[in-house]
Structure 1
Amino acid sequence: MPKFSLDFTIHPRLQPIKQQLFWALAALSLLAILASLLLEELVFLALPFGVLLAYQALVDYRVIYYLLFTTLPLSTEVFFSDSLATDLPTEPLIVGVLLLYILLVLTKPKTISGAFWLHPLSLLLLLHFAWTAFSCLLSDSFTISLKFTLAKLWYIGCFYFMTGHLIRKEKQLHHLWWWVIIPLAFASFKVVAHHALLDFGFKEINRATSPFFRNHVNYAAVLTFFLPILYFFGRNLKKWSWGQLFIGASFCLFFFGMLTAYTRAAYVSLVLSVVAYFIIQFKLMRWALLGAILAVVLAFGYLIKDNNFMELAPSERTISHKEFGDIVAATYKLEDVSTSERYYRWIAGARMSTEAPWVGFGPGTFYTYYKQYSLNRFQTYVSDNPERSGIHNYFLMLLVEQGYLGMLFFIFFLFYGLILGEKVYHQSQDVRQKRATMGLMMMLVIISAFLLMNDLIETDKVGSFFFFAMAILVNFDLRNRALLNSPKDVSQ
């Protein structure tokens, strides 16, 4: 099992006052409990935990980062109103880690890797964020776009730049995976057990995923992109050790959970990740990406020629099915209501893109405006969209909300990351790093496949690992460069 290497001892400068700090925290906790009882507000109970986290940040800020990854599988979405929601406890921790990183940059700039910041992938990510911020300033709904942009800021700062600072070698990645996999296995076991009590019914899966996962798509996505991580992580462990047995059991649990999540995108993306494995092995990533671009262009060209997209309009046979097998058959026949609803929103998004092609309507604004650009011919009985969900295609969402440049900047970032990962894999001399790289690459391929049908990159359980994987690839690339320039093992 894992051997954690974090130092939890108190900082030397705090040793003389540790007893005073203890009593101060105890008094604060008592006051918070009294205030909560007298004012009937549970929010006061969070105050001692906030102070404790601040104290831990002074002792060893790395613990806060690891704690964040431990809580990611267990986070739950809390709604304060129809338009205001957050993920607890992760979102406050994400903001806290971002603030810690900013303090590090300001107070200890020499500890920050300039090579990481100046890496081409980092520069492409900064360009992507800069355009998001620019389109926010020109947004038709500035308040909505500002919330979206701030969330993007702390996701990038926490999961990309703080990861780049803390997780620089495969050994550190090895330790971190334990902090994620153990709670994720617990959350997955809860869902599977709850779903079993519901006879693994298709309609009941969303009931089983609560409270740890928003819905069956989010649940299936996380389990799917962790399957290659578990496989290659397990291969890096000692054979027949307790750790490897636990990872093997978790792999079986995740695979079964993915199968019973009844999510078509999960099955397709897992197959694509296996195909990507061979693409990476034979150094065909550039050709694969070029082929993907060509396929999209040809498909789009066919749909707009002579208005062929009208053939996709729903008919009286387009219904919401109660069994997963019926959905698969209906998808093949283009008669499934969820697919038809996607057409409804995609066509609205395409029409919106012609209205504001360069800067878009503003980050996060698709839901606000899309219905006035929709075609009634494609409307279904689920088009009221009471859950306020998005366009269900991240690339099209960027086109609508940030214009052509916004979409292209993200595509450049994604494609370069995939090309970089292939290079890192073949240049890695350490077999453990090689396996870790392949796991991260297959994770990115699965997330990218989901982005074609969903907007999951803005959620804490998916977007976090997307930026995390990119940061690790950059550090592995920098390590490989150092090894090429020096015969000595830089891991020492």
Structure 2
Amino acid sequence: MFRSNAIKITLFYLISISFILLNIYFVVKRDSLIINALPALLAVFLLVIFSFDKLIYLVVFFAPLSLPLSEVMPGLSFDMFLPTEPILFGLLILFLLKIIHERNFDRDILTHPVSLAIYINLIWILLTSLTSTMPVVSIKFLLARIWFVVCLYLLTAKIFKGGKKMEQYVWLYIIAFLVVIFYATYRHWGYGLWDKQAAHYVVSPFYNDHTSYGAAIAMYLPFAMLFAFSKQYSKKIRNAALVVLGILFMAFILSYSRAAWVSMIAALMVWGFIKLKIRFQPIFITAIIVIALVFSFQHQIVMHLERNSDESSSNLTEHFSSISNISSDASNLERLNRWGCAIRMFKEKPVFGFGPGTYMFQYAPFQLKKERTIISTNAGDRGNAHSEYLGPLSESGVLGLVTFLIILITVLYTGIHAYGRLKDPRLKGIVLAAIIGLVTYYVHGFLNNFLDTDKLSVPFWGFTAMIVAADIYSRREAKAVEEK
């Protein structure tokens, strides 16, 4: 203990002295931009030394407000989100140093089935990075995935262990998210709130487009409902949450994200299954049967969908019904084009794929003339596979998809069983909200993929960490009861 405090004090003085010397240097050089940034950098360094959890909270708070480096410094050959990703990278380095020095981390978290599923996926991403057609791109993808997992899952699960501090994690994102919502709504107001086209870009530069914005709202709506209606929270918190719920719901509608709307309907169905206490096994078997039927009758389904001519529009009813329009809706047709490219890429390299993160650089030659749309490009330079499932399939082969699905199934299985085992009504509510929030993204993942961004990685891995921490807590609780 004494040695640990001595190290912290020594580091504090070293950083303080370095800070003073750097200030003097940049004052002499008259570089005002760096001088202004130094206090923030010092604050981050101090947080690193004295409080890891505060640094994670900082990442969570800034995730909705983070900006791509390309917005700040255009023309660079690489991109990242500021200030979150540099902090996450620093945390990853410090975590590795801490593990090497102490040779110890929470075994319950490290050996949890969800953690094991994540390791398997990461190992396969590493292997396919080594066989990648673009190794540098794939290694960057792997590093980003590792710092998301380490900081937002492993370290966050450690913070949540014992069932504490989960609400803070959610509220920090929501509070910052409200700033983005007010900003987007104010801009949207200028074009007319029911202008569907404006919804695409009013969220810029904070979110890439309305789909990622809608996905984030869908993930946090279950928690807003929990905080607004659960009697486990004070009247003051419930009233504040009720206001937040109204704002989120308004933003959810104005996002015009059809994928988010569909994901919420699916999540409500899962909520009903859990509340009715239907076991996980029949739900899983039903899902497999439905998927098998879709594949078996895919031609008949496509023929039926081609009869739908409703275009995406500002009319909410028409916009929602245009979800199944694959005859004339450009957005839907381009999505089919990307999916077709992903499947053809998989067929060419079914085992190792083209390499993690490479889809956007490799899909152009796999476009078919008959599938291209008015928004397709010859260079294939407009984004990803629009699927959290077909993306890994094309980039990391069949095991890329399988190992990712194992994570999702393990998380759902763990969450449902933890919910049934828990006696604490507060934790039961949090676990249920986390499950429903994640289900919205699991469904949304059929139509888009955003796990390479901090915006969606913060809730995705954070909610997963909540489920794991609650599961560990429930097992200990059950064991204690047995021992009595």
Q: Could you tell me the TM-score, scaled by structure 1's length?
A: 0.87
Provide the secondary structure at the position in 1 that maps to 2:337. helix
Q: Find the counterpart in structure 2 of residue 296 from structure 1.
A: 291
In the TM superposition, residue 218 of structure 1 has moved relative to its aligned partner by 1.2
CA contact (8 A) 1:269 1:445 kept: yes
Q: Does 1:68 align with 2:62?
A: no
Q: Summarize the alignment of residues 99-118 of structure 1 with structure 2, pairs less than 5 Å apart.
A: 99-110=93-104, 112-118=105-111
In the TM superposition, residue 328 of structure 1 has moved relative to its aligned partner by 3.6
CA contact (8 A) 2:312 2:320 kept: no
Provide the secondary structure at the position in 2 that maps to 1:464. helix
Q: Find the counterpart in structure 2 of residue 285 from structure 1.
A: 280
Q: Find the counterpart in structure 2 of residue 220 from structure 1.
A: 214
- Aligned-partner Cα distance in 2 for 1:296–1:44: 57
Q: Does 1:55 align with 2:46?
A: yes
Q: Find the counterpart in structure 2 of residue 126 from structure 1.
A: 119
Offset from partner CA, 1:363-419 (integer Å, 9 cap, x none): 111122212122111111101177631111111111111111111011011011101
- Aligned-partner Cα distance in 1 for 2:398–2:417: 28
In the TM superposition, residue 171 of structure 1 has moved relative to its aligned partner by 2.6
Q: Does 1:461 align with 2:458?
A: no
- Aligned-partner Cα distance in 2 for 1:121–1:209: 33
Q: Which structure 2 residue ranges, 5 or more long, are not aligned?
A: none
Q: Does 1:94 align with 2:88?
A: yes
Provide the secondary structure at the position in 1 that maps to 2:423. coil
Q: Summarize the alignment of residues 358-377 of structure 1 with structure 2, pairs less than 5 Å apart.
A: 358-377=351-370
CA contact (8 A) 1:327 1:336 kept: no
Offset from partner CA, 1:33-53 (integer Å, 9 cap, x none): 554638xxx467545533432
Provide the secondary structure at the position in 1 that maps to 2:68. strand
- Aligned-partner Cα distance in 1 for 2:191–2:381: 24
Change (3 A) 1:48 1:446: same
Which residue, out of 163, 170, 173, partners 1:180?
173
Provide the secondary structure at the position in 2 that maps to 1:458. coil
- Aligned-partner Cα distance in 1 for 2:457–2:439: 13
What amino acid does structure 1 have at the position aligned with 2:221?
A: L
- Aligned-partner Cα distance in 1 for 2:331–2:342: 16
Q: Find the counterpart in structure 2 of residue 7 from structure 1.
A: none
Identity of aligned residues (%): 24
Which residue, out of 470, 476, 484, partners 2:470?
476
Change (3 A) 1:257 1:320: closer
In the TM superposition, residue 321 of structure 1 has moved relative to its aligned partner by 5.4
Q: Find the counterpart in structure 2 of residue 142 from structure 1.
A: 135
Offset from partner CA, 1:21-69 (integer Å, 9 cap, x none): 656534533533554638xxx4675455334322331122222111111
In the TM superposition, residue 177 of structure 1 has moved relative to its aligned partner by 2.7
Q: Summarize the alignment of residues 335-374 of structure 1 with structure 2, pairs less than 5 Å apart.
A: 335-374=328-367
| Range that drifts further, 426-435 or 327-336 | 327-336
Provide the secondary structure at the position in 2 that maps to 1:85. coil
| Range that drifts further, 292-301 or 339-348 | 292-301
Provide the secondary structure at the position in 1 that maps to 2:481. coil
Q: Does 1:434 align with 2:393?
A: no
CA contact (8 A) 1:11 1:60 kept: no
What amino acid does structure 1 have at the position aligned with 2:64?
A: P
| Range that drifts further, 284-293 or 373-382 | 284-293
In the TM superposition, residue 75 of structure 1 has moved relative to its aligned partner by 1.0
Change (3 A) 1:323 1:376: farther
Change (3 A) 1:312 1:387: farther
Q: Summarize the alignment of residues 364-443 of structure 1 with structure 2, pairs less than 5 Å apart.
A: 364-384=357-377, 388-443=382-437
- Aligned-partner Cα distance in 2 for 1:270–1:320: 19
CA contact (8 A) 1:124 1:409 kept: yes
- Aligned-partner Cα distance in 2 for 1:290–1:140: 37
Which residue, out of 162, 184, 196, partners 2:189?
196
Q: Find the counterpart in structure 1 of residue 242 from structure 2.
A: 248
User: RMSD value over aligned CA atoms?
Assistant: 2.9
In the TM superposition, residue 309 of structure 1 has moved relative to its aligned partner by 6.4
Provide the secondary structure at the position in 2 that maps to 1:132. helix
In the TM superposition, residue 236 of structure 1 has moved relative to its aligned partner by 5.5
In the TM superposition, residue 15 of structure 1 has moved relative to its aligned partner by 6.0
CA contact (8 A) 1:391 1:454 kept: yes
| Range that drifts further, 52-61 or 114-123 | 52-61
- Aligned-partner Cα distance in 2 for 1:386–1:399: 18
- Aligned-partner Cα distance in 2 for 1:33–1:433: 52
- Aligned-partner Cα distance in 2 for 1:119–1:249: 37
The alignment covers a number of residue pairs equal to 472
- Aligned-partner Cα distance in 1 for 2:307–2:359: 22
In the TM superposition, residue 11 of structure 1 has moved relative to its aligned partner by 6.1
Change (3 A) 1:115 1:186: same
Q: Does 1:156 align with 2:146?
A: no
In the TM superposition, residue 233 of structure 1 has moved relative to its aligned partner by 3.0
Change (3 A) 1:198 1:12: farther
In the TM superposition, residue 330 of structure 1 has moved relative to its aligned partner by 3.8
- Aligned-partner Cα distance in 1 for 2:265–2:148: 28
Provide the secondary structure at the position in 1 that maps to 2:288. helix
What amino acid does structure 1 have at the position aligned with 2:245?
A: F
Q: Does 1:207 align with 2:201?
A: yes
